[in-house]
Amino acid sequence: MTRGPPRRRAILRAFCLGPFAIACLLVISLLLLPTVARAQTPGVTVINVPPEFQASDVGTQNGLHHIDVVVSDNNSWGDILQVDLEILDESSRPVAHVILRTYLSNASLIWEPTFMDSVGQNLVRAESLATVNTNPQTVEDRSELRVTFAIIPLTGRWARITATDLDGLSATVQLDYLTVSLGGTTIFPPWLLLLIAVAASIILVGTRIRREIHGG
C-alpha cells in the first residue's frame, strides 16, 4: 500500500483532530459555566463546606419577638442561599415557618434578600433584616450574614433555624422559645418542682417531730 507524502498526511490529521478539539472545548465550557456564574458573587469559592452559626438570640423588642442569628460560610456570605425559622410546639410540629431567601433565582444569583411566610402569618417584614458587609476587610466581613426575624408573638416551645448554601449543605440550631413566648416568665421543669415539694415536706415533717419531742 502506498502512502502519500508526509505533508499531506499531516494535513489530513489536522483536519481530523480539529473538530474533535472544538467539541472538547465546547464540553469544557458548558461544564465551567455554573462555576463562573458562582464566582461573580463576592468572595465565593468552590470549597464544599456547610454554613455555621456564630451567634443566636431570642428576645422581645417593640412588642415583637426577635430571633437574631449570625450565619457564616467559609466560601462567603454570598454562598448562603436560604435561612429558615420554624417555631415548634411541644411535639416539634411547626406552628410558624418563616423563610429568608437571599436569591430570587439560582440562575441569576442576584443578591436580593426576601422574607416570606411558609406556615402561618406571623412575619413582620418591615422589622426583619438581612445584612452583609459589601466592603469586606476581614474574614468575618466576607463570610457573615446577619439575620433578624421579627414575628408577631405566639406560643411555642422551640425556635429552630436552618441555614442552607448553594450546594444544598445546611446547618441547624435549636433555641429555647418558651420563655420569650410566655412574656419572660421563668418556667421550672416538673422534676425540679417535685424535688422542691419533697424537700419542703421533709423540712415540715422534721420541724413537727422536733416540736413534739421538746413539747413532750
Q: Clarify whether residues 152 and 66 are in a common domain.
A: yes
Please indicate, yes or no, if residue 19 is contained in any of the structural domains: yes
* Residue 190 resides in a domain: no
Same domain? 82 vs 2: no
What 3-state class would DSSP assign to 177? coil
Residue 32's pLDDT is 41
The predicted pLDDT at position 216 comes to: 54
Q: What Cα–Cα distance (Å) separates residue 192 from each residue in 92, 165, 182, 195?
A: 23, 41, 19, 5
91 and 152 assigned to the same domain: yes
| Co-location of 33 and 118 in the same domain | no
Asked whether residue 70 falls in the same domain as residue 162, the answer is yes
Alpha-carbon torsion, ordered 174, 178, 181, 182, to 10 deg: -170
Same domain (yes/no): 14, 86 = no
**Buried b / exposed e along 185-209 (16+ C-beta atoms within 10 A):** eeeeeeeeeeeeeeeeeeeeeeeee
In a domain, 202, yes or no: no
Total domain count, the chain = 2
Instruction: Tell me how far apart the alpha carbons of residues 120 and 151 are, in angstroms, rounded to a whole number.
Output: 10
pLDDT, block means (10 residues), the chain with 216 residues: 51 49 46 40 59 88 90 88 93 92 82 91 92 85 91 90 91 84 46 66 74 67
| Residue 172 structural domain | 52-181
Q: What pLDDT does 55 receive?
A: 86
83 and 34 part of one domain: no
Please indicate, yes or no, whether residues 173 and 115 belong to a single structural domain of this protein: yes
Whether residues 118 and 11 share a domain: the answer is no
What does the pLDDT read at residue 145?
92
In angstroms, what CA-CA distances link 8 with 21, 22, 170?
20, 22, 60
Q: What is the CATH number of the domain that holds 161?
A: 2.60.40
25 and 104 housed in the same domain: no
All three cell numbers of 157: 416551645
Q: H helices of 53-107, where?
A: none
| pLDDT for the residue 194 | 65
Q: Is residue 188 part of a domain?
A: no
In this predicted structure, what is the pLDDT of residue 201? 73
Residue 192 lies in a domain: no
Q: Is 195 within the bounds of a domain?
A: no
Instruction: Identify whether residues 77 and 155 lie together within a single domain.
Output: yes
